[in-house]
Structure 1
Amino acid sequence: MNSGPGAADEAPVDEIVEALRGVAQLGGFFALGTVRGPGSGGGHLTWEGFSARARTVNERLATAETRIGVSIAHLGLAARLWSPVLACALVHGIVPVMTTVEWADDGSSLRLAGPRGSRAPRSAAALADAVAAQADGVLQRVESHLPARVAPRLLAGNSASALVGSAAQLLRLRPGLRGPLTELTRDLLETGRLRGTGRITGPELSFRRRSCCLYYRVPNGSTCGDCCLVR
């Protein structure tokens, strides 16, 4: 999968910035700020930054089990990557290049340094590949330096859960996108490591994953709505 646009399909920077500004108005995880220069994070989601956020999750959930904080922080990061990429692709026809995404502050918000992007491919398969490369591809690079060992299928399940959760939220906000959004989401669930992570269970993009994010292990925790442990 390519990490950036080719010269023929590259979108102007102003259009990319406007597209991201537009989808940010959807709120929540769709917000992705931009910095015209190289930014302050060296163009990367650093492992130190992720580790700090995982520790914060552990403290907030009052659990000492490191892999729980890692999994929950990873799930949140996945949602912040999938949401703006999905929305930009379907609402504005632009796939932003996420390789220069960085932490925006001491919280979990993200911003894109030196924004670049490409026109969304017309082929369904090519679009799925392009979107996956800029969301799940960046997420996998973060996973190469996690502060605790977490099962690869759990991480893939987190990514799939975040993908479908982002798609379901976009569907609620933009119901007119139902057809292309449902098609793209299904295609993405058959792309790369997301294949076999779960299945869509309803027209509103409800989902049942085949792994668990470990939230049930925190004090007073419970299973999530898409968890494989739900009966």
Structure 2
Amino acid sequence: MSEFADVLATLRRVRGISPFFVLDVGRPDETWLPGTALLEGPALKETIGTIADRYRTNEPRVAASLFFLSYTARLLCPLTATSTLDGITPDVRPENLWWHYDNANGLSVRLDVPGAGPGISDALNGVVEAIREIVPVARGLLWGNAASAIAGALRTMSRTGALTAEEAEARGEQMLANPPFAGTGEFLPFPGEVTFRRRSCCLYYRLQGGGTCGDCPLAK
């Protein structure tokens, strides 16, 4: 098969794991923005402001973290699955994405062309730096969000039978072994379950009624 066919085939294979593993392909309607609008122009700043208003926070770094949590979940769940099951990493660089945000549906992303791309860190780095140009949020926090998305994807794959817990944990250790993921968290021994504890906090607890996430270092 061609590269395009291989990517489409693996995306179809993983989309049934859960809704977060669905990554559609093709140019959408005119309400969507090209991924390059994440890197330049006012769209990213406006979206972070919209998220801040939606969650009634006056802390831009909280809204920025929430945006990146959603962004990485939408991209890294399918990427973790495709790279683990088929050894294929679709191209999710901003230059090959479309995205849309509204308060009713949250963030949606899709690929423009179903090609193979670089590693996850290369695909995300530009968006990390673009966020930091707008909001003074720590790199470690943002990469911790991405690590949390990878660990969450592997946990779901284990629970749905795509991997055993042991296979999922081993894959997680491999994916998070090198910078910028090294040091973002650790997998904890727990029989039959993938358990991850990150070293940074996503700041969700800063929202009214937000609480802490299951992998938060602040959780008791």
Aligned partners of 2:35 and 2:99 also within 8 Å: no
Count of residues in correspondence between the two structures: 207
1:72 deviates by 1.1
* Alignment match, 1:7: none
Residues 27 and 98, structure 2, Cα contact 8 Å, conserved in 1:
no
Given that 2:15 and 2:78 are in contact with CA atoms closer than 8 Å, whether structure 1 keeps it comes out as yes
Q: Note the 1:1-231 alignment, pairs <5 A.
A: 11-35=2-26, 41-42=33-34, 44=36, 46-47=38-39, 48-99=42-93, 100-106=95-101, 107-117=106-116, 133=119, 135-146=120-131, 147-201=134-188, 202-203=190-191, 204-231=193-220
Q: 1:167 to 1:32 in 2, by over 3 A?
A: same
Partner AA of 1:95 in structure 2:
T
Cα distance in 1 between the residues matched to 2:135 and 2:90 = 30
5+ long unaligned stretches in structure 1: 1-9, 119-129
Alpha carbons of 1:50 and 1:210: their partners in 2 closer, same or farther (altered >3 Å)? same
In structure 1, how many angstroms separate the alpha carbons of the residues matched to 2:121 and 2:46? 21
- Kept in 2, the 8 Å contact 1:102–1:111? The answer is yes
User: Aligned to 2:183, what secondary structure does the other structure show?
Assistant: coil
Contact 1:72 1:213 in 2 (8 A): yes
TM-score by length of 2: 0.82
Q: Secondary structure at the match of 2:110?
A: strand
Deviation at 1:199, TM superposition (A): 0.7
| Amino acid aligned to 2:73 | A
Contact 2:65 2:202 in 1 (8 A): yes
Report SS of the residue matched to 1:145. helix
- Classify the secondary structure of the residue corresponding to 1:194: coil
| Counterparts in 2 of 1:103 and 1:64: CA distance versus 1, 3 Å | farther
Structure 2 counterpart SS, 1:110: strand
Give the aligned residue type for 1:114. Answer: V
Give the secondary structure class of the aligned counterpart of 2:144: helix
> Structure 1 length as normaliser, TM-score?
0.78
- Percent sequence identity is 32
- Equivalent-residue separation in structure 2 for 1:44 and 1:181 (angstroms): 33
Amino acid at match of 1:85: L
Whether the 8 Å CA contact 2:91–2:123 is kept in 1: the answer is no
Residues 1:64 and 1:78: Cα distance change in structure 2 (over 3 Å): same
Change in CA separation of 1:41 and 1:60 when aligned onto 2, cut-off 3 Å: closer
Corresponding letter in the other structure for 2:129: S
- TM-superposed CA distance for 1:189, in Å, is 1.6
Measured in 1, the distance between the counterparts of 2:24 and 2:37 equals: 14
